[in-house]
Amino acid sequence: MSEGLRRDFCLVVPAYNEAPMAEDLVRELREAFERHGLEGEVLVVDDGSTDGTAEKIEAAAEGWDALRVLRHRMNLGKTEALLTAARSTRRTALVLFDADLQHSPDEIPRFLDRMDEGWDIVCGRKIGPYDKQAVSSVYNRLSRRIFRVPVTDLNSMKAFRREILDHLHLRHDWHRFFVVLAHARGHSVTEIDIELLPRRAGESKYSGPWRVVVGVMDLFSVWFLLIFSRKPLLLFGTLGILLILAGMGVGALAIWLRVVHGMGFRPLLTLVLLLETVGVTLFGFGLLAEMVAQVRQELEEIRRRLSP
């Protein structure tokens, strides 16, 4: 591992009601930093905890200048915690680490080693018993099939270059799609195996059937964004043209029935008007969306030029 990365990384630790883990977390992180000669910083983001998590972590970390605690006034989620930490550091690499210590701090240098080989993102693949393994497996399989990402576990410990976040727009709970969005922009991704340890105290904050539904809906939202955000006319224009052609076909049928059989069928005329109106509207919407996409790309280019 290079001396540069050893000094130039930030460990991001989102924490929500993890007071029972505070002392163990700080002690094991500090020991790992000393054992491996790490000189990065640790940003613990207290995400609106109500059990005194921030105070207990600050007390446990007294005298260790590498650790700082950032606070959210309310629970905003893991994505917002990651973004808060990214705005609060200028380190080159970020390592996302859970406060429940289900991954060993001794894994940190392994992630930095792989980044030092030139990778933009290093993902951890959980090895060991996992309560949500079935759900996670389905989710990861869907993600690999839809997005073609070269990793098997998208929602685990990971390390990446901080500058990647400057070019991504992460919505609420989209931290799980960070790798997907970054890979779509050409960033290199690799994966290493990491041991999953039993949770020592408390309960998982990311479980429940509702989260599965939300996760699937978010997955298709990201798919839609990646496929059609840059070429919206591909979607709306295609649908519009199909509806216009369908309207023309129904109109031809109505004329044929009238001329050949002398039948006038008013509902067919109504259907023609509906199909043509909706088709033209969708095509026009696609043209407007193309203009919006062009403006968005120009704004992104301006932001890249102005960024330090």
> pLDDT tens across 87-141, in order?
999 999 999 999 999 999 999 999 999 999 999 999 999 987 776 666 677 778 8
Domain boundary among the residues 194, 228, 262 is at 228
* Range 143-148 average pLDDT: 84
* Range 238-243 average pLDDT: 92
> Is there a contact between 41 and 75 (Cβ–Cβ < 8 Å)?
no
Q: What is the pLDDT of residue 157?
A: 94
Query: pLDDT tier at 304 (50, 70, 90 boundaries)?
Result: low
Angle at CA of residue 24, ends 19 and 27, nearest 5°:
125
Same domain, 242 and 261: yes
Same domain, 265 and 179: no
Average pLDDT of every residue of the chain: 86
Q: Which domain holds residue 106?
A: 3-228
Residue 204 vs residue 15, higher pLDDT? 15
Same domain, 167 and 294: no
Domain boundary among the residues 196, 228, 260 is at 228
Same domain, 59 and 166: yes
Q: What is the pLDDT of residue 1?
A: 43
Query: pLDDT tier at 163 (50, 70, 90 boundaries)?
Result: very high
Q: Is the pLDDT of residue 184 over 70?
A: yes
Long-range contacts, stretch 212-216, CB < 8 angstroms, 24+ apart: 212/135, 212/139, 214/173, 215/139, 215/176, 216/139, 216/142
* Range 159-183 average pLDDT: 88
* Range 210-238 average pLDDT: 77
- CATH number of the domain enclosing 119: 3.90.550.10
Query: pLDDT tier at 207 (50, 70, 90 boundaries)?
Result: low
What's the rounded Cα separation, in Å, for the pair 176 and 170?
10
Per-position b or e across 149-184, b if 16+ CB within 10 A of its CB:
bebbbbbbbbbbbbebbeeeebeebbbbbbbbbbbb
Same domain, 46 and 122: yes
What's the rounded Cα separation, in Å, for the pair 132 and 137?
8
DSSP-derived 3-state class of residue 99: coil
DSSP-derived 3-state class of residue 110: helix
Q: What is the pLDDT of residue 146?
A: 85
> pLDDT tens across 16-43, in order?
999 999 999 999 999 999 999 999 999 9
What's the rounded Cα separation, in Å, for the pair 82 and 135?
24
Same domain, 154 and 299: no
Q: Is the pLDDT of residue 53 over 90?
A: yes
Same domain, 185 and 291: no
Quote the number of domains for the chain: 2
Same domain, 279 and 181: no
Place of tokens 């976040």: 165
What's the rounded Cα separation, in Å, for the pair 42 and 240?
52
Same domain, 213 and 258: no
Domain boundary among the residues 228, 249, 265 is at 228
Which has the closest alpha carbon to 138: 153, 156, 121? Answer: 153
DSSP-derived 3-state class of residue 10: strand
> Is there a contact between 303 and 288 (Cβ–Cβ < 8 Å)?
no
> Is there a contact between 228 and 285 (Cβ–Cβ < 8 Å)?
no
Same domain, 281 and 254: yes
Same domain, 236 and 224: no
Same domain, 201 and 294: no
